């Protein structure tokens, strides 16, 4: 397929419900759809928005944890979720599950 044909294709925009809860997985994945089943009513989570000027965390930055059980530890930012004001740090904030 030519590049002009690819650029002419309409972009798929996923319309999310008003009470959608953002998590660590993308909205189009099965894991996110399991956590947000259709028809389930949820209370709104109030997150104070941070302006773009004050938001200074990007993937790959080295940060130090200020609050929580990992206080004082340093690590690299692995994922940023702006909708929930979350910054995930490598080898910290992890939950290990035994699956089989």
pLDDT tens for residues 68-92?
A: 888 899 999 998 888 888 888 998 8
pLDDT per position as a tens digit, 12-71: 677 887 788 888 888 888 988 888 888 888 887 788 888 888 888 899 999 998 888 888
SS (H, E, C) 28-84: CCHHHHHHCCCCCCCCCCCCCCCCCCCCCCCCCCEEECCCCCCCCCEEEEEEEECCC
How far apart are the two ends of the chain, measured CA to CA in Å? 41
């Amino acid at each position: 397929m030519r590049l002009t044909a690819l650029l002419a294709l309409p972009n798929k925009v996923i319309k999310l419900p008003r009470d959608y809860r953002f998590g660590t997985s993308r909205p189009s994945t099965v894991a996110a759809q399991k956590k947000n089943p259709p028809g389930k009513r949820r209370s709104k989570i109030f997150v104070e928005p941070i302006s773009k000027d004050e938001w200074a965390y990007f993937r790959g930055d080295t940060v130090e944890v200020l609050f929580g059980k990992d206080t004082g530890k340093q690590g690299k930012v692995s994922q940023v979720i702006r909708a929930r004001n979350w910054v995930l740090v490598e080898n910290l904030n992890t939950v290990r599950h035994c699956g089989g």
